[in-house]
Amino acid sequence: MSKEITARSQDYAQWYNDLVLKGGLADYSAVKGCMVIKPYGFALWENMRDVLDRMFKETGHQNAYFPLFIPKSFLSKEADHVEGFAKECAVVTHYRLKNNPDGSGVIVDPDAKLEEELIVRPTSETIIWNTYKDWIQSYRDLPLLVNQWANVVRWEMRTRLFLRTTEFLWQEGHTAHATAEEAIEETRKMLDVYADFVENYMAVPVVKGVKSASERFAGAVDTYCIEALMQDGKALQAGTSHFLGQNFAKAFDVQFSNKENKLEYVWATSWGVSTRLVGALVMAHSDDDGLILPPRIAPLQVVIVPIYKGQDQKDPIDAKVAAIVKELKAAGIRVKYDDSDNARPGWKFAEHEMKGVPVRIAIGSRDLENNVAEVARRDTKTKESLSLDGLAGNIVALLDEIQQNMYNKALAFRNEHITPVDSWEAFERALDEKTGFVAAHWDGTPETEAAIKEKTKATIRCIPLNNPQEAGVCILTGKPSKERVLFARAY
Amino acid sequence: MSKEITARSQDYAQWYNDLVLKGGLADYSAVKGCMVIKPYGFALWENMRDVLDRMFKETGHQNAYFPLFIPKSFLSKEADHVEGFAKECAVVTHYRLKNNPDGSGVIVDPDAKLEEELIVRPTSETIIWNTYKDWIQSYRDLPLLVNQWANVVRWEMRTRLFLRTTEFLWQEGHTAHATAEEAIEETRKMLDVYADFVENYMAVPVVKGVKSASERFAGAVDTYCIEALMQDGKALQAGTSHFLGQNFAKAFDVQFSNKENKLEYVWATSWGVSTRLVGALVMAHSDDDGLILPPRIAPLQVVIVPIYKGQDQKDPIDAKVAAIVKELKAAGIRVKYDDSDNARPGWKFAEHEMKGVPVRIAIGSRDLENNVAEVARRDTKTKESLSLDGLAGNIVALLDEIQQNMYNKALAFRNEHITPVDSWEAFERALDEKTGFVAAHWDGTPETEAAIKEKTKATIRCIPLNNPQEAGVCILTGKPSKERVLFARAY
């Protein structure tokens, strides 16, 4: 079979690439580091986007759209921000091509050089806060709760489909508030929205926490994050929410007159998740036979395959399935009848397994006689025979059960992979043998953090929220510490 | 009042800008030619996008996403295409900034020059057909029906909010077929989808037609279009659907083996509409008091304003309105209760008028006693007193009536502004005095078309579909012609 997948145990990275490519999620493109999101992958992203968009709107946010380009000088206005992004910017310098006089094609027209170069947005804080300057005058204009769905570009040297691409799709929320308290509340609220989405729709458990200073977003006062665990024991940052303080308001001079009619700088947040989540989804759940997609966001939840010899056998199956499809659709289920005759059932089974369709229903002539169908779960690979009476209700319940089971399985795996350690030796052993998160004491300095990273490639993924306070000593320096933080090797 | 709008009769262009800016649809940005789409404008675009997206899916199309960047060499592969787009391309030449040694900020890092420059997509035929080469091998892979929602960039020298911006949002369908007939059928089908959308959702009547050779899309065999008429008598191209023949298949060597196992080049279409439609919507319907939005896509369909003195009067109104809002929402109506107490009713009325909310409901204490509300239509500016009993049903009917009335009004205007002429003198007079479309005979040559444009600034908007065949002579050259074509000055 042409669609063979490399086993996880053999080569985890290749297994992942196989799934993305052969599962029809994405393709490499002619542009280095950029991918093509294929229809099946985009349908998955659309489902994720639609749920998130609804959640954002339910929490009072409105969508808007800001320019793709950012004047180069804007980046410099916030010192940390430019430091963080200058090294990976796509720069537009010209606005026209012309025919090469030698007839060899088109060349950049040297007469069409921009006065000021434009950066393709790596993130939009600067262009947005430059706009907010015009939108915010009084406390009555606050809070301003805006989100943008957009493409962004970061010139990455080492890229991986979905996980790290030069161009990616994301949403970026940018909110403005009258007080620090309110902005922090917003930052935390959106972290909760992300956690809710990733856990309850993607079926991936996350740890909510705050980043250490060296892992903060460039320009943030505090970066909150959700961290997920992949099957190879590496962590993946699934979303971030930043409290930006007054940094961008000061950089772009955005002040408002408060109720006492005094001018104050505005407080800001930003928060984002991206198509990277698709990579997390693939890595968290799938197996050596293909994708395993959680029902709540799977493009297709149920596929029905007829088993027959000749049209005489197929006709009555078609008729019955038409009724079943109608019933399933009425129950809100995304279902497809795969009755194409250019592939055998076995090939179809493998294909739907590869694509991670949560439930497969197979119906043959004998089944029809007995008024049953064979119902197979993708997550457990178990099958059962179900009556065609009341099938829709049972499938709805089964989809819920699959969703829950996928979460429980991922949660059990994650919980088994949080290892508390109290010595350097145990720390290294846990990272190498047990893998996953290692909960260890750290002396709180960036120097120690950097030294640990240098020695082990592990970074502080986060300081969990509501972290138990517990006296201890740093695993590397032996200096006092009052809480454990989560280390891991990460994507 | 700060939000005064320039009258159409005084300065039509300024009237339009006032509406877009003061109606909260968009803002200028710091980047020349790029706009910021504000939340209200974006909500309108979202409604338009969602309807179109549903229509595309219902006609069998799937969404996907292709890279923002196009290698420069790709453009040259289709001769007409590069000729059409090279003059307005944003070009990425570098991928990094660095600190200026003189401390003045960041500069482009000369060591980070791309080997091959990248074009920010002005349209995606080239990158997509380069991808289709990998996706299409056999007739079984056809038709391939893909759509993309994306931002594109064309470096325009003279820009106008929504109508012509350097960056704009759009969708671009790119389909691949086994035969020319099937591709042409697809081209026409999508033109019908566009016409259906613009007429039945935007309430703007259109003429469906085909472009003359000189107005064709760069790389197309035939360009079909829908043309709308604005209130100033200028035409606006609202959407295009291109039959691309085998031009891009040949340029990117995309062949398929047909049922006889012979290799053939694939047939292509592409079709798109953009945020330009928002500009068309504004110009087609609005008046000197603000926007007039058609109910089916208006972000807000109904606004309710309480009329009261003091909280004692407001409390019972609040209670009643809560029930009304619930009833309206249950009927699927997008409604807002505008009970903010920092503006008087008169100010709110003007604001909602400015924003084009189709229906305004005002309720005061006396109304409550009489169990009625004052219901005002934005389109006709008429008011009536309606019983609170069965209000939702009446509002649903009213919204339908407004939608229909807006279309009828625009249609009557458009029909009054199609003037058949048979002489050059009458042609010029019709363009200048009557404005709108002028139906005239033309000898079919690009030279005559160019001469007419040179003399009058009028272009051939289209040769209408199902155009009556009628012998005549060209208004400029007197040469024979067998049908009239539609000329107009255009946006």
CATH number at residue A457: 3.30.110.30
Cβ within 8 Å, pair A30-B74:
yes
Phi-psi sector, A487: left (phi>0), alpha (psi -120 to 50), beta: beta
What's the pLDDT score for residue A3? 65
Length of chain A measured in residues: 491
pLDDT over 80 at A1, yes or no:
no
CA angle A255, A259, A261 (to 5 degrees): 60
Cβ within 8 Å, pair B120-A117:
no
The percent helix, strand, coil of chain B (3-state, each to 5) is 35, 30, 35
DSSP string, A259-285: TTS-EEEPEEEEEEEETHHHHHHHHHH
Cβ within 8 Å, pair A64-B92:
no
What's the pLDDT score for residue A225? 98
State how far the Cα of B469 lies from the Cα of B471, in Å rounded to an integer: 7
Structural domain tally of chain B? Answer: 3
State how far the Cα of A186 lies from the Cα of A465, in Å rounded to an integer: 15
A51-90 residues touching B, CB cutoff 8 A: 62-76, 82, 86-90
CA distance B180 to chain A (A): 24
Residues B406 and B426 in one domain: no
ipTM for the complex shown: 0.97
CA distance B309 to chain A (A): 22
Cβ within 8 Å, pair B62-A39:
yes
Residues A278 and A312 in one domain: no
The percent helix, strand, coil of chain A (3-state, each to 5) is 35, 30, 35
Residue B342, classified by CB atoms within 10 Å of its CB into exposed (0-12), middle (13-18) or buried (19+), is exposed
Alpha-carbon dihedral angle through residues A54, A57, A62, A66, given to the nearest 10 degrees: -30
Residue A4 pLDDT level (bands cut at 50, 70, 90): confident
Query: Which chain A residue has its CA at the smallest distance from B63's CA?
Result: A39
DSSP string, A86-125: GGG--EEEES-EEE-TTSSSEEE-TT-EEEEEEEEPSS-H
Cβ within 8 Å, pair A94-B93:
yes
Q: Which residues of B34-44 are buried (b: 16+ CB within 10 A; e: fewer)?
A: bbbbbbbbbbb
Asked if residue A293 is part of any domain, the answer here is: no
Query: Which chain B residue has its CA at the smallest distance from A61's CA?
Result: B39
pLDDT over 80 at B235, yes or no:
yes
Residue A76 pLDDT level (bands cut at 50, 70, 90): confident
State how far the Cα of A126 lies from the Cα of A76, in Å rounded to an integer: 9
Look up the pTM and report it.
0.97
Asked if residue B107 is part of any domain, the answer here is: no
Domain boundary among A393, A413, A433: A413
DSSP string, B221-265: SEEEEEEEE-TTS-EEEEEEEEEEETHHHHHTT-EEE-TTS-EEE
Domain with A445, as residue range(s), is 418-488
The arithmetic mean of pLDDT across residues A116-125, rounded, is: 97
CA angle A81, B165, B79 (to 5 degrees): 105
Q: How far is CA A166 from the centre of its chain?
A: 15
Residues B362 and B451 in one domain: no
10 Å Cβ neighbour count for A319? 10
pLDDT tens per residue, range A19-70: 999 999 999 999 999 999 999 999 999 999 999 999 999 999 999 999 999 9
- B-chain CB neighbours of A78 within 8 Å are none
Residues A367 and A434 in one domain: no
Does A354 or B104 have the greater pLDDT score?
A354
B104-133 residues touching A, CB cutoff 8 A: 105-106, 108, 117-120, 127, 130-131
The arithmetic mean of pLDDT across residues A174-202, rounded, is: 98
Residues B157 and B240 in one domain: yes
Residues B466 and B380 in one domain: no
pLDDT tens per residue, range B415-453: 999 999 999 999 999 999 999 999 999 999 999 999 999
What's the pLDDT score for residue B95? 97
Asked if residue A40 is part of any domain, the answer here is: yes
State how far the Cα of B222 lies from the Cα of B213, in Å rounded to an integer: 8
The arithmetic mean of pLDDT across residues A113-130, rounded, is: 97
Alpha-carbon dihedral angle through residues A178, A183, A184, A190, given to the nearest 10 degrees: 160
Helices vs. strands in chain A: H and E counts, helices first: 14, 27
pLDDT over 70 at B263, yes or no:
yes
Phi, psi values for residue A468, rounded to 5°? -60, 135
Domain boundary among B361, B389, B413: B413
CA distance B108 to chain A (A): 8
What's the pLDDT score for residue B469? 96
Asked if residue B150 is part of any domain, the answer here is: yes
Domain of A265, CATH number, reads 3.30.930.10
Asked if residue B79 is part of any domain, the answer here is: no
Residues A350 and A439 in one domain: no
Closest CA to B77 of B214, B201, B198, B218: B218
Asked if residue B91 is part of any domain, the answer here is: no
Residues A149 and A213 in one domain: yes
pLDDT over 60 at A262, yes or no:
yes
Query: Which chain B residue has its CA at the smallest distance from A40's CA?
Result: B64
- B-chain CB neighbours of A91 within 8 Å are 92-97, 108
Which residue type does B326 have? Answer: K
Residues A380 and A252 in one domain: no
- A-chain CB neighbours of B70 within 8 Å are 31
Cβ within 8 Å, pair A88-B95:
yes
Residues A445 and A479 in one domain: yes
SS3 A406: helix
Domain boundary among A253, A285, A317: A285
